[in-house]
């Protein structure tokens, strides 16, 4: 039977992408009376089980509808506009070279927001006149329907499902709580001017470039209030929820129960309740990390705080970037998109200065407070010492005055590696090609996969003596206790905190003055506002500069600017000391002067000469597997295919072993593509034959390099 034939029989066919199933959508039949549209969540029969899926299209042509299996259950829409959800799945698939199930994955967890036994139902007034006819032969359904005349109530699944399919009931939407009356502080003249510019271009894309402590948060809140006043919602993305406790608390204080926090660490029950509140319209302000961009809310404003942060990049397929998804959703909904940062990523900054998006500046701190004075300490003059005399003096003065200090070293552990003094062998992880770090606990730990074991007492190869190399945050904390006796010291890194609550405890303790010195990795630079911090020390600024990444300099510069900005945010002025082996490196020279524009101009000039983003497009394609020879062979084969198909102007480099050649037991190779246009790269990669090791399914595909 063709589609045309099925239409006469009132049959409809939809295509469903399953959560765990084939890489192509499957055709299913809509039962009579079931109102299904693209973007709806459904459960369907698949291989003698019932599988969760999302409808991506309806009425596909030339399908034998009568031979198809029917949908088992209609769950509901993933987003307020179901069609938006279907189009979003297509966008993720095309943009990130993902399979259909991978592209649907970010939207499927919203199914957990549907809790039948927690939903209160009410009569659908528009269909009330049809109730007697539709319920004539269903007495139990009729009794349940009549019970709703007394008011909204819950119903058993065996009753609400048929009533819903007949269109006789709708979900009861509880009354939305009133917005708290707190209006927040009066905007400064600079904030007021920024708000005027932002409000003059509703629905536009804006880069809010404000120095640390300039008051970007209050601007976010004012724009959220504008959206609520217009009857719409808001999405506020933060880099990491564990490091954004202060901002989350401010959102909840300002917007009360209209705010919902969405992130993976809250637990399934709490996440389900938050989704229910959003879906029922009780809450309409969402705050969370990158996954919150898929929240079921009709957003009038979308805000990406600290937009330069790499944590907005999803590391597993689909490897989306939350800022790009935010741009897509905002454009489709006519929402205002605000990208906020003191150190914007250079691709976004170039868009702003070229006029592609609007640049809004906050060049000064609130109250005219000065940015911290930054000095450089040359580590070549103090070999073997963790703290230079300049840093010792700065922290000593701060602690003696009852103020606080932050010490940054972007390397965990006690000693980052060990080496045999006899044969030179470095103990490495059994599953990864990285050195095991020595920890204060006496364990040897892999900072890539988490493998840990008791540190060897001698060289595993020859029995020689092992020497501990380098310095990590644990060693810095110990050295700080020796350098400043009596000072109370806290540590903030991935080893010291486990989960959201632990990081929040460290933050609160330091904010409340329970410690004098906070030692940590880049976590200490993530937007914290500690009024008593007047001193910041960067123990070694050069750690990230040697990374095999064209953005290594940019990321180092951003980190130095962000961490120095933690000092002097209240009345007392701040100071910072940056310890480095390369004082003349541009990332350090410009960070000392707080000169973002100067650094950006020089770095963009260098990238233009090399053809790197934003002046060219890069695509990293990776291959991984458990058999070394097979991975290398596949990389050679696919790279040769791409090189043969590459059009003029596209360069194919590689294949070569990845910088971390083995990770979690899998060997890794990679190929780098360079071109002037993004579409050339996507087409070249997507045209590869499917199969094991397909680059569309490999964990090394990195769409950040397409930005």
| Of 205, 185, 187, nearest in space to 196 by CA | 187
pLDDT at 179: 63
Q: Give phi and psi for 578, each to the nearest 5.
A: -105, 115
- List per-block mean pLDDT (blocks of 10 residues) for the chain, which spans 707 residues: 39 86 89 83 91 85 76 86 92 89 86 56 87 91 91 80 87 67 81 96 95 94 94 93 79 90 76 83 91 93 95 89 96 96 96 96 92 95 92 96 95 83 85 84 84 88 85 92 94 74 82 94 84 95 86 94 92 94 95 97 93 88 89 92 88 89 89 86 71 35 34
DSSP string, 57-117: EES-SS--GGGSPBPSEEEEESSSSHHHHHHHHHHHHHHTT--HHHHHGGGGGGGGG--GG
Tally of CB atoms within 10 A around 267:
9
B/e letters for 104-143, b = 16+ CB within 10 Å, e = fewer, are bbbbbbbbebbeeeebebebbeeeeeebeebbeeeeebbe
pLDDT at 113: 53
Q: Is 317 helix (H, G, I), strand (E, B) or coil?
A: coil
pLDDT at 697: 32
| Of 304, 350, 349, 343, nearest in space to 323 by CA | 304
Q: Which two tokens stand for residue 63?
A: 């399908």
| Of 301, 321, 285, 323, nearest in space to 201 by CA | 301
Q: Give phi and psi for 139, each to the nearest 5.
A: -60, -40
């Amino acid at each position: 039977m063709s589609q045309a034939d099925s239409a006469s029989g009132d049959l409809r066919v939809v295509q469903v992408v399953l959560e765990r199933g084939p890489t192509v959508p499957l055709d299913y039949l809509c039962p009579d009376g079931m109102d299904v549209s693209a973007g709806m969540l459904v459960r369907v029969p698949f291989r003698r089980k019932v599988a969760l899926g999302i409808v991506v299209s309806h009425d596909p042509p030339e399908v034998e509808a009568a031979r198809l299996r029917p949908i088992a259950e209609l769950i509901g829409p993933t987003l307020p506009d179901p069609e938006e959800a279907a189009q979003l799945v297509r966008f993720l698939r095309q943009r990130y070279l993902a399979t259909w199930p991978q592209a649907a994955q970010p939207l499927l967890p919203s199914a957990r927001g549907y809790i039948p036994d927690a939903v209160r139902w009410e009569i659908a007034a528009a269909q009330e006149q049809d109730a007697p006819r539709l319920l004539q032969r269903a007495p139990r359904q009729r009794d349940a329907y009549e019970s709703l005349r007394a008011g909204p109530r819950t119903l058993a699944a065996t009753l609400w499902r048929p009533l819903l399919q007949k269109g006789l009931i709708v979900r009861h939407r509880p009354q939305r709580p009133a917005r708290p009356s707190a209006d927040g502080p009066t905007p400064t003249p600079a904030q007021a001017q920024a708000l005027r510019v932002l409000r003059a271009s509703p629905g536009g894309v804006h880069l809010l470039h404000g120095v640390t402590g300039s008051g970007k948060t209050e601007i976010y809140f004012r724009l959220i209030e504008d959206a609520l006043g217009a009857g719409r919602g808001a999405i506020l993305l933060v880099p990491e929820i564990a490091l954004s406790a202060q901002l989350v608390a401010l959102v909840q204080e300002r917007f009360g129960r209209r705010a919902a926090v969405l992130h993976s660490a809250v637990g399934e029950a709490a996440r389900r309740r938050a989704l229910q509140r959003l879906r029922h319209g009780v809450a309409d302000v969402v705050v969370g990390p990158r996954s919150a961009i898929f929240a079921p809310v009709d957003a009038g404003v979308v805000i990406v705080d600290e937009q330069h942060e790499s944590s907005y990049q999803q590391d597993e397929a689909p490897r989306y970037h939350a800022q790009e998804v935010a741009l897509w959703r905002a454009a489709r909904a006519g929402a205002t998109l605000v990208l906020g940062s003191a150190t914007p990523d250079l691709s976004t900054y170039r868009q702003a200065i070229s006029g592609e998006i609007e640049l809004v500046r906050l060049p000064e701190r609130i109250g005219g407070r000065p940015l911290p004075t930054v000095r450089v300490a040359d580590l070549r003059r103090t070999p073997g010492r963790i703290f230079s005399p300049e840093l010792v003096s700065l922290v000593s003065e701060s602690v003696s005055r009852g103020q606080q200090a932050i010490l940054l070293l972007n390397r965990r552990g006690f000693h980052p590696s060990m080496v045999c003094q006899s044969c030179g062998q470095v103990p490495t992880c059994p599953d990864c090609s990285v050195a095991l770090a020595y920890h204060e606990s006496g364990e040897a730990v892999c900072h890539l996969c988490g493998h840990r074991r008791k540190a060897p007492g001698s060289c595993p190869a020859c029995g020689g003596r092992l020497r501990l190399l380098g310095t990590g945050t644990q060693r810095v904390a110990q050295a700080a206790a020796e350098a400043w006796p009596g000072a109370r010291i806290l540590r903030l890194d991935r080893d010291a905190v486990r989960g959201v609550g632990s990081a929040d405890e460290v933050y609160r303790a330091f904010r409340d003055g329970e410690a004098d010195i906070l030692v940590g990795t880049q976590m200490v630079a993530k937007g914290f506002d500690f009024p008593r911090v007047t001193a910041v020390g960067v123990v070694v600024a050069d750690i990230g500069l040697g990374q095999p990444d064209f953005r290594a300099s940019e990321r180092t510069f951003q980190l130095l600017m962000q961490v120095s900005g933690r000092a002097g945010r209240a009345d007392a002025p701040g100071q910072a000391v940056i310890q480095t082996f390369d004082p003349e490196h541009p990332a350090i020279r410009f960070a000392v002067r707080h000169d973002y524009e100067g650094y950006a101009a020089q770095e963009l000039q260098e990238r233009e000469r090399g053809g790197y983003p934003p002046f060219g497009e890069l695509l990293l394609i990776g291959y991984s597997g458990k058999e070394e020879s097979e991975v290398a062979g596949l990389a050679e084969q696919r790279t040769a295919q791409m090189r043969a198909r590459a059009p003029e102007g596209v360069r194919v480099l590689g294949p070569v072993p990845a910088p971390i050649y083995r990770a979690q037991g899998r060997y890794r190779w990679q190929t780098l593509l360079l071109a002037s246009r993004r579409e050339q790269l996507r087409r070249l990669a997507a045209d590869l034959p499917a199969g094991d090791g397909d680059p569309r399914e490999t964990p090394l595909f990195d769409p950040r390099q397409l930005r």
